Structure 1
Amino acid sequence: MQINVLDSSDEPNATYFYQNSLKDIPLEGSFKNKEFVFIVKHNDTIREKFTLKKVANTNFEGTWNNAQGKSFPVKLSPIDFTNYKSTLTDVYYTDEKFDLIKLKFLEFKKEKTTFYKNKTIDWYSEKHCNVPFFRLGDNFSENSKNKVNAVLEKIHIKNVIWQLDCSTDNNYNTGGGISFEADFTFLNNDLLGFKVFSDYYCGGAYPDTSTRGYLIDLNTGQNYELDHIIAFDKSVTTEKESSFNNWVKYRQTYFAPKLYAIINAEQHFQKPKDNEEEPCDLTDLDKWWNAEGWIYTEKGIEFTPSFPHAMRACQETFLVSFEKLKKYKNPKFKYNLN
């Protein structure tokens, strides 16, 4: 269990999970007369209730009750995180201590083998949730399997943890709050491109979706970001390699205007007139073109300007051919764009 008390608030909250399911169960709470009360409430019915008091400064003791009348004593003590380590910091947060515990219990199993461009793809599942994902199969080189499968496993773990954490206050987390679908978009002797589509509702006003593209070096296992591949100016940088301010400056000054110009040369975007109720103004560089989705495909790179959820109907994907991008290839990217 994780208990959060902010600024001496009388409305703390908590989350807990069972070792056999690993799925988050959120709790709303109160604090009165030195007693914490945490409840799971669905449709105005209290499904579970923890009543806890702090003892010995670090421990909690009390009871748990449910709507069916069951009751158990509860004793909580701080977790020693000495044995909870993670090597996933290059893929996901993983300084979240709550999730470090879940990593200890994940179990992956090979489910099936498929083929893409005559290459074997092994698909794996995880015991506690429904998040299928792939690894490179037998007819890839041993070097590729060793380097790339380690990266693919980290991506798989990231998605698994996301589903296990995806809970709402109105229902128990059954693992159905988020789904993933992976599709291959590019493969040659050196590079593997794929995309992961996610459809999720983890609380809040609306469900949402997202698509992320990946490009992985089959020789080294490097997971390329877009700025590793395309450079519209020598000041190109990645957020990890430099300061966030430098990344934003490059995006605003060079990336957004140049990408827009390339796409607009074919699309001929028009700015809405003052009397038109048209929110999808794709001529607004500062709003939509600085942070975009991208997917590396056989024909070029697909770019999708980023719109907020309320304007998601405006979202459209544009394919820019490798031929148009060749002269903007990052000199540090050692492969041809084709």
Structure 2
Amino acid sequence: MQRFRLGNLTLGHRQTTPRTAEGFAVAVTASCYHGDSSAFSIAEWIRNMNELIKNIRRLGCVLGLMLLTTCAMADEVAVYQGKLGNAGIVMTLTFSDNGVEGRYFYSQYRKDLPLSGKWDKTGVLVLREGKPQWDEQAQTGKPVMTLRTDNQKNWQGEWRSGKGKTYPVTLSPAALPAALSPFMQTLYQLSPYEYLRQAQTVLAMTKKETVNGHEIEWWQEPVSGMTTFQIASGYSDAQRDRLNVALQTLLWQNVIGYHDGMMVSQYQGEAMSVVDIQLLSPSVLSVSDLRSSICDGGHSSGNWPIRLRVSDGHPLVLSDVLWVGDGPVPDNSTIEKGEYNNTILPAWLVTQLTQYYPEQMRTPVNSDDCDYSNQDIWNGYDNNWILTPKGILFSPSFSDAQQPCAGESWPVIPWDIVKQHPGRLKDLPLP
């Protein structure tokens, strides 16, 4: 992996992103926004969420929205604190072979402003504020920051408005205060930049309830309105802690996505997430997360479920609990790219659903109506299934124009059928 070096420059609080074109499949969330393994630790899961969020920022709003940044793979991500004039700011910069991109916010307002630009051999950074424009003429009048390194750690320079007004800029590597609450400890690991934005945030407990004998507390981040829950009783302490970290990560992932989407739309967009507990059993936690956003004129929506094995917090893939192919269950990476995912499973699902739900699965007369008998809509299943008390709920994939056809609650394969086709984790107790 190559890294950007500016002489012997040491970047600020730094994260490293692997150079890979692959990431988790992207579902849509408050921004423009989850592999394999039946043995997958929460720490690995959080690292993958980090990678997902970086991929999200490269992709912009899915389904056609333009990137805020260039498509260069990130080499170094540095986080800085400092002053623009007399105002406190926090900035993150991604240094790559193709240039520099990033964002910053004023500590008073905590709203992101996008940055993009380049450096030269003398160590001068020229960063233009605002969404990237693809021709120089369109960039005329945009505020510009010109920054130089003084001691291989700090940056200083000036911010110049389109009308020529200037303010001094000073930046130093971010000093992250200690995280006190469990929520903030999780965010500390997930995103230093977002951690600094949320340093003074007080999450609000909005509701308490009991689900299957477990005390549940619902929490909300006040600016974005994103929510999650915490399990306050039941399970062992270690099990509960692992599950709660995953649920905290869900909240922060959505909050980060919210700010991504709002930056694209200059905080004129809309974003929402509806988190629901689908199954809370002694062996499995299943949660749905319906996300929707309007980001710079583009609308996107989708479900981003979480399915975790309670004993160790490992995320579950479908082949862990259901396998309708021949022979032993192979590695999940093989399944994702093979005939099973594209042909065998969709055909099996259509057959089973037709047997249990013949009315809904009938081929429509009108071509504009929802056609659930089409095998193609049951592809890409691994983010489109949820464990429920009745069985596995599958969500078909439709185009934007047919989104009203998605999100149905009836396509459930009952547990008695699922148990006739056990997956990789044959000893996993299911309802």
Q: Report 1:9-88 matches (<5 A).
A: 15-19=103-107, 22-26=110-114, 37-39=128-130, 50-55=143-148, 59=155, 61-65=157-161, 72-76=167-171, 79=173
Q: Tell me the SS of whatever aligns to 1:73.
A: strand
- Matches of 1:56 and 1:147 in 2, distance apart? 42
- Matches of 2:354 and 2:167 in 1, distance apart? 65
Output the amino acid matched with 1:288.
Answer: I
Relative to structure 1, the CA distance from residue 237 to residue 16 in structure 2 (aligned partners, 3 Å threshold; closer, same or farther) is farther
1:181 matched to 2:271: no
- Matches of 2:284 and 2:364 in 1, distance apart? 41
Q: Report 1:111-122 matches (<5 A).
A: 111=205, 112-122=207-217
Q: What is the Cα-based RMSD across aligned positions, in Å?
A: 4.2
- Alpha-carbon displacement from aligned partner over 1:48-73 (angstroms, at most 9, x marks no partner): 95323354698562225499x98632
- Alpha-carbon displacement from aligned partner over 1:76-131 (angstroms, at most 9, x marks no partner): 57x57999xxxxxxx99x99xxx442235545646243222332112233465422
**Match in the other structure for 1:297:** 388
Structure 2 regions of 5+ residues with no counterpart? 1-90, 120-124, 133-138, 178-185
- Matches of 1:143 and 1:14 in 2, distance apart? 37
- Matches of 1:110 and 1:141 in 2, distance apart? 25
Output the amino acid matched with 2:105.
Answer: F
Output the amino acid matched with 1:50.
Answer: P
2:219 aligns with one of 117, 121, 124: 124
1:214 matched to 2:306: yes
Relative to structure 1, the CA distance from residue 254 to residue 158 in structure 2 (aligned partners, 3 Å threshold; closer, same or farther) is same
**Match in the other structure for 1:311:** 402
- Matches of 1:82 and 1:120 in 2, distance apart? 33
Q: Is the 8 A contact 1:63 1:71 kept in 2?
A: yes
- Matches of 1:14 and 1:291 in 2, distance apart? 32
Q: Tell me the SS of whatever aligns to 2:379.
A: coil
Q: CA deviation at 1:188?
A: 2.6
- Matches of 1:316 and 1:259 in 2, distance apart? 16
- Matches of 1:36 and 1:282 in 2, distance apart? 50
| TM-score, normalised with respect to structure 1 | 0.72
Q: Is the 8 A contact 1:213 1:296 kept in 2?
A: no
Q: Is the 8 A contact 1:227 1:236 kept in 2?
A: yes
2:292 aligns with one of 181, 192, 199: 199
- Alpha-carbon displacement from aligned partner over 1:239-282 (angstroms, at most 9, x marks no partner): 5xx35x75443202422121121112244545568xx6447444
Q: Tell me the SS of whatever aligns to 1:17.
A: strand
**Match in the other structure for 2:81:** none
Percent identical residues: 20
Relative to structure 1, the CA distance from residue 6 to residue 281 in structure 2 (aligned partners, 3 Å threshold; closer, same or farther) is farther
Output the amino acid matched with 2:322.
Answer: I
Q: Tell me the SS of whatever aligns to 1:201.
A: strand
Q: Which has the higher contact order (CA 8 A, sep 6+)?
A: 2
Q: Tell me the SS of whatever aligns to 1:256.
A: helix
Q: Is the 8 A contact 1:125 1:132 kept in 2?
A: yes
Q: CA deviation at 1:156?
A: 2.3
2:428 aligns with one of 328, 335, 338: 335
Output the amino acid matched with 1:214.
Answer: I
**Match in the other structure for 2:340:** 250
1:229 matched to 2:302: no
Output the amino acid matched with 1:16.
Answer: Y
Q: Tell me the SS of whatever aligns to 2:267.
A: coil
Q: CA deviation at 1:335?
A: 2.8
Q: Is the 8 A contact 1:300 1:321 kept in 2?
A: yes
**Match in the other structure for 2:354:** 264
| TM-score, normalised with respect to structure 2 | 0.58
Output the amino acid matched with 1:15.
Answer: R
Alignment length, in residue pairs? 308
Q: Tell me the SS of whatever aligns to 2:298.
A: coil
- Matches of 2:175 and 2:214 in 1, distance apart? 41
- Alpha-carbon displacement from aligned partner over 1:201-255 (angstroms, at most 9, x marks no partner): 233x43222223333233222222222211112464565xx35x75443202422
Relative to structure 1, the CA distance from residue 334 to residue 19 in structure 2 (aligned partners, 3 Å threshold; closer, same or farther) is farther
